Amino acid sequence: MKRHLIEDLRSRLKANQENEKTSNETLESLERKVKALAEVCSNKKTSIDSLKQRLDVATKEKSHYEQIYHKAKEELEKKDLKLINLESKMIETEYAMTEIESTASQQLHALAKQSEQALETVQKKLLLTNAKAEEFVTFVKALTRELQHSVQELRTKIKQAKKMEAVRTRKKSLSQESVQLAASILNVSTTDLEEILEVEDDAETAKTKMEFEKDKEWLQYIQKLLEAQFPFASYLMDAILEKLNEKKKLVEEYSSLMKHTV
């Protein structure tokens, strides 16, 4: 029994030794694993510390960007509000412009109509004025022709009166016998002799020609005034008054001659 007990103890001892060896190996393995885990934990801690630092930085950056975001959002909201106000003002402005355009169009239409009516009135007045101007020119031309004709008639009457006065003077200075003798010498009748005596001399002929030229120049001057630019009324009045004064003198001269003739 002792032998069996010793063998049993030996076998147990051997088994325990083997178990101890296995346990030691396992312990060593565990120690190695613990050491490895410790290193891993140390590395993880370092990594975690690094991540914490990065998280702190990210948190700060996040806070900074959140502030920027909120500020940008506020500015954007303000700009949106301004944009809404501008759009509202644009709508109001467009409406006002439409109203102004409508009013302006109506006013322009009314002004165009008034202008058209005013233009028609002015055209009618212009036509009437032109007609009056033409009538005035016709009147002035007729007046000047009549005045010129009247002056020429007076000159002719004055010449005839002077000739009659000269003939009477000659008849008074010459006897009937002398007239008959002169007629017989010239082999003409006494009437023909009187006509010969009445022939104008060269001075009278030159005077008549000069008066004709002056009358012609006067009529041309009147025509030039009527064709000239305004104003010409004072010049026209002076020219007509000049001819009227000439007629007045001729009338006075003719009246004086007729009184002496009578």
Q: Establish if 9 belongs to a structural domain.
A: no
Can you tell me which residue has the tokens 């005045």?
Answer: 147
Q: Establish if 216 belongs to a structural domain.
A: yes
Q: Establish if 41 belongs to a structural domain.
A: no
Q: Establish if 74 belongs to a structural domain.
A: no
Q: Which residues contact 155 (CB under 8 A, 6 or more apart)?
A: 208, 211, 250
What pLDDT, on a 0 to 100 scale, did the predictor assign at position 78?
Answer: 92
Give the total number of structural domains in the chain.
1
Contact 200, 208 (CB under 8 A): yes
pLDDT exceeds cutoff 70 at 194:
no
Burial class (CB in 10 A: 0-12, 13-18, 19+), 151: buried
Most confident of 128-137, 146-155, 225-234: 146-155
Residue 177: pLDDT band (50, 70, 90) is low
pLDDT exceeds cutoff 60 at 184:
yes
Eight-class DSSP state of 201: -
What token pair was written down for 81?
A: 């509000």
Tell me the residue type at 197: L
Q: Establish if 176 belongs to a structural domain.
A: yes
Name the percent of the chain lying above pLDDT 90: 12
What pLDDT, on a 0 to 100 scale, did the predictor assign at position 248?
Answer: 92
Burial class (CB in 10 A: 0-12, 13-18, 19+), 42: exposed
Domain that holds residue 225: 124-260
Q: Establish if 136 belongs to a structural domain.
A: yes
Q: Phi-psi category of 187—alpha, beta or left, where left has phi over 0 and alpha has psi -120 to 50?
A: left
What pLDDT, on a 0 to 100 scale, did the predictor assign at position 114?
Answer: 87
| Sign for the pseudo-dihedral over CA of 166, 171, 174, 177 | positive
pLDDT exceeds cutoff 80 at 187:
no
- Lowest mean pLDDT segment, chosen from 9-18, 58-67, 161-170, 175-184: 175-184
Tens digits of residue pLDDT in 7-54:
887 888 888 888 888 888 888 888 888 888 888 888 888 988 998 998
pTM of the predicted model, to two decimals?
A: 0.47
Q: Establish if 157 belongs to a structural domain.
A: yes
Tens digits of residue pLDDT in 207-260:
888 888 988 899 898 888 888 777 778 888 898 899 899 899 989 988 988 876
pLDDT exceeds cutoff 80 at 151:
yes
pLDDT exceeds cutoff 70 at 191:
no
Smallest CA-to-CA distance from 158 within 257, 233, 83 is with: 257
Q: Which residues contact 260 (CB under 8 A, 6 or more apart)?
A: 165
Residue 3: pLDDT band (50, 70, 90) is confident
